[in-house]
Structure 1
């Protein structure tokens, strides 16, 4: 057995990461790492390079020496690879000072980065100008999904495929009580998953204030309670998120329009609601308000989900219209007016009148006011920070993650990016592969996608073969008496390798991760068709759709393999 002495580990999780890194070194048969003992016991093959062991540990930001080796001073310093890894990891003024990491923001990306950086031995200063927790828990994913679920329950009480045998009972909507329930869960999750964790971590200092870059390695923080503080850092992560975008429609700024933030905390359900927008937030909230009692009109500049496969927009539009939502395609408001409690939207076809107006036309990165030019951080025309696959910006010591960047605006992407940024800030080399990124829209039926559409594949020069299976061919949908939607598989022509899946179906979000794993593992549609799927599940639709590449599934018996 070979013993490796390791310093700077701060917890058992650190030890687990060291063990993982060591066992990837060629020649290492096994590694037992103890945080308490500050050591690793290694079983090695003959000829295993000792320098590779110390380099693997140094790459994580820790110091490692062989128990029987002379000190660095006695042997003329560490090997170049180790020295380089430690320089990247801690850029310290002395051998003891922890890496100083500043994190701007407190949402999914910021929290993931802060916790990972601490795990890697860094000292973190987290700066938040508003409410701890960012968009998702406070004004995004969590409250919207609560409202959508409540609306779904209301809809089922009013109407379901089983009304012939279960008498429908139109519900009384008590919006004030629903809002109180929604906000209580938001407050609970913010405290347990954000505030409580920060309060309990002595390696993280929270500053409540607005940060601006003073230089490439320092910030000025204007504190909310008065005064300023300069924060010097070795590494910094920008994770400031995004805010609702507002289009330049004449007259709009002079009206009390809603953004998604305001809509989610409204204690009333308007009799008439107009929605400007055609993507995720617009359609989710439009259907939720409709199911809670509003007469909803959607103004779509093109069609619903015009960036996706056209079949998606067609299916969702059909479902909405069946529920009584009015979807005005290829319609823009040229002017908005408000008087006597009523909005009047002028379009090229007619006027749309409503009691409330929801504007949901995308989100704008929160990068203004950061003085990014002082640090040499470049942004694109939309104000999003450009980053590479390691979340590095154009400035050498500054990283960015989440909705303020040019990455897809999903909280799980933000969190994954934040974790990888922290690894890289502390000397590692992690990347984020978004080639099989699943996405879900929580309408009913849901929209779920991963990988290429046919159009995207052809744009990248990939020839495709695809199949679309309507849900009247999926047994789960048949027994639910709900066959709205479809599943579509996109394969690479010739190889048959699965490269994309689009689905519109009730609970489509529950099947898309299986599709993502299939794409990630480079499965062919035939290999997907040959898998065992439990009968009477919606995910079985993936298998059935895969079978359509070689068979007529209408001629198969139930659960035919």
Structure 2
């Protein structure tokens, strides 16, 4: 691996130029190296490694696990167990998080490509001057046969009056704050806002969520949202659905948030701590000069790609959060590999997300794969739903934790599993099995007839499959 300094005379011609430095970019660079392709990676903004390792998946999950440890030190579901409490050194938690993030950024990204012979890495902002050329930092031009745009996405900042005049935070800045805020108001109840709320509430921060739609996790069916919202409220998180912030201003008592309530009336909320913006993400395309090359975007501003990661320009591919594909670190890596293989080999690979598994790391966790019942209806599929409460799962019963459910969706005509949704403690650990079942056409009958270790949460999958035809409440523990 070589590094370019913009003050040096650069090598200006490459087989492939990757714009971006996250998961899609590194996956593409690894693939390019295996094919012997000369490659330039140009990255700006976040450090190499991108959102996931620096300000997204990794730091958020560290804090969620730390917060879980604190929570269980103060709460017990067993009458005979009385926790003594916990002392939280918030600053130390954040410092440990920073060190682990830095270690993983080095080991899982920079060290991986350190011995690459065909890769050159450059810090700088890239802008297309034509479809074969980029200008970096307004200084040097670089040309390539093919390009991969993998610039990711950033927090969508809503156009609320006064927002730019307060010291608001996003996940990119909140996770580095070593002084624990007294309280936070989170704008947005999507997965980012909910994971932040879970972690910081359990670390001793008073948390309030403002959501302009009618419920949390609005992309999911109402039963998923309701189950999650109920448990978050029980932990003391204040949730205000159908509240829309219209103005923010500072005062001696804190930040005043002027909100429109569900009935249309206005109210004032005082936030003595911090305001956190978690109102979704927007693709990072505004610095690329895409207007000069007439790159096609979706109505939401993402780069329009085919399943092969092709754009409307033959020599330009795109991958990751900047595109109109599922915004996950593992899909981005998958797409980066597909893009380079399609661009430089005889491969004809296409992305397939029909069985894609995903997890929201709240508590209980929310996980899914395939279709839910609304999506199945939209596709006019003949389907049936089985929904099993965790109160019918032996593992959950003995753990005294029956929060949530397992929901399976099957095609009535084929009996094949076509979708699953789980709300459960550690429910994310179940979803890969269901994703594989969807991918390989496993029937519900086969799920029901398989062996599952007794007193595992996975046994809930068997019981949910049996529920399509029987009342599991009338079966003995090990009956089928």
TM > 0.5: yes
Residues 377-386 or 547-556, more deviating: 377-386
Q: 1:351 aligns with which of 234, 251, 268?
A: 268
For the pair 1:104 / 2:19, whether they are aligned, the reply is yes
Q: Which residue of 2 aligns with 1:378?
A: 296
Q: Which residue of 2 aligns with 1:484?
A: 403
Q: How does 1:375-454 map to 2 (within 5 A)?
A: 375-427=293-345, 428-454=347-373
Q: How does 1:31-430 map to 2 (within 5 A)?
A: 100-130=15-45, 131-162=47-78, 164-222=79-137, 228-302=139-213, 303-340=215-252, 342-349=254-261, 350-354=267-271, 355-427=273-345, 428-430=347-349
| Aligned-partner SS, 1:176 | helix
* Deviation of the 1:460 alpha carbon: 1.4
Distance (whole Å) between structure 2 residues aligned to residue 412 and residue 419 of structure 1: 11
* Deviation of the 1:382 alpha carbon: 2.3
**C-alpha contact 2:17 2:147 (8 A) present in aligned 1:** yes
Distance (whole Å) between structure 2 residues aligned to residue 127 and residue 100 of structure 1: 14
Q: 1:507 aligns with which of 411, 414, 426?
A: 426
Superposed CA offset, 1:85-119 (max 9, x none): xxxxxxxxxxxxx9711111111000001100110
Distance (whole Å) between structure 2 residues aligned to residue 174 and residue 122 of structure 1: 49
Superposed CA offset, 1:101-148 (max 9, x none): 111111100000110011012111111123111000000000010011
Unaligned 5+ segments in structure 1 are 1-97
For the pair 1:560 / 2:479, whether they are aligned, the reply is yes
Q: Which residue of 1 aligns with 2:8?
A: none
| Aligned-partner SS, 2:141 | strand
**C-alpha contact 1:274 1:353 (8 A) present in aligned 2:** no
| Aligned-partner SS, 1:403 | helix
**C-alpha contact 1:440 1:446 (8 A) present in aligned 2:** yes
For the pair 1:517 / 2:436, whether they are aligned, the reply is yes
Superposed CA offset, 1:381-408 (max 9, x none): 3221000000001110010000000111
| Aligned-partner SS, 2:435 | helix
Distance (whole Å) between structure 1 residues aligned to residue 141 and residue 260 of structure 2: 53
**C-alpha contact 2:95 2:178 (8 A) present in aligned 1:** no
Distance (whole Å) between structure 2 residues aligned to residue 342 and residue 172 of structure 1: 27
Distance (whole Å) between structure 2 residues aligned to residue 533 and residue 372 of structure 1: 53
| Aligned-partner SS, 2:450 | coil
- TM-score, scaled relative to structure 2: 0.93
* Deviation of the 1:560 alpha carbon: 2.1
Query: Is the radius of gyration larger for structure 1 or structure 2?
Result: 1
Over aligned residues, Cα RMSD in angstroms?
1.4
Q: 2:463 aligns with which of 507, 529, 544?
A: 544
Distance (whole Å) between structure 1 residues aligned to residue 14 and residue 139 of structure 2: 23
Distance (whole Å) between structure 2 residues aligned to residue 556 and residue 142 of structure 1: 42
Q: Which residue of 2 aligns with 1:67?
A: none
Distance (whole Å) between structure 2 residues aligned to residue 341 and residue 289 of structure 1: 22
Distance (whole Å) between structure 2 residues aligned to residue 243 and residue 108 of structure 1: 15
Distance (whole Å) between structure 2 residues aligned to residue 542 and residue 309 of structure 1: 20
* Deviation of the 1:423 alpha carbon: 0.7
Task: Go from structure 1 to structure 2 and tell me whether the alpha carbon gap of 1:341 and 1:123 turns closer, same or farther (over 3 Å shift).
Answer: farther
Distance (whole Å) between structure 2 residues aligned to residue 552 and residue 523 of structure 1: 22
Residues 296-305 or 194-203, more deviating: 194-203
**C-alpha contact 2:14 2:40 (8 A) present in aligned 1:** no
**C-alpha contact 1:217 1:375 (8 A) present in aligned 2:** no
Q: Which residue of 1 aligns with 2:447?
A: 528
| Aligned-partner SS, 2:33 | helix
Residues 439-448 or 241-250, more deviating: 241-250
Distance (whole Å) between structure 1 residues aligned to residue 21 and residue 356 of structure 2: 23
| Aligned-partner SS, 1:233 | strand
| Aligned-partner SS, 1:518 | helix
Q: Which residue of 2 aligns with 1:462?
A: 381
| Aligned-partner SS, 1:447 | strand
Distance (whole Å) between structure 2 residues aligned to residue 460 and residue 269 of structure 1: 47
* Deviation of the 1:284 alpha carbon: 0.5
| Aligned-partner SS, 1:126 | strand
Q: Which residue of 2 aligns with 1:55?
A: none
Q: Which residue of 1 aligns with 2:7?
A: none
Distance (whole Å) between structure 2 residues aligned to residue 173 and residue 343 of structure 1: 26
| Aligned-partner SS, 1:199 | coil
Unaligned 5+ segments in structure 2 are 1-12, 262-266
**C-alpha contact 2:365 2:425 (8 A) present in aligned 1:** yes
* Deviation of the 1:228 alpha carbon: 2.3
| Aligned-partner SS, 1:266 | coil
**C-alpha contact 2:33 2:117 (8 A) present in aligned 1:** no
Structure 1 outlier segments of 4+, above 3 Å: none
* Deviation of the 1:341 alpha carbon: 5.8
* Deviation of the 1:496 alpha carbon: 2.0
Residues 213-222 or 446-455, more deviating: 213-222
Distance (whole Å) between structure 2 residues aligned to residue 346 and residue 373 of structure 1: 37
| Aligned-partner SS, 1:466 | strand
Distance (whole Å) between structure 2 residues aligned to residue 156 and residue 367 of structure 1: 43
**C-alpha contact 1:342 1:353 (8 A) present in aligned 2:** yes
| Aligned-partner SS, 1:467 | strand
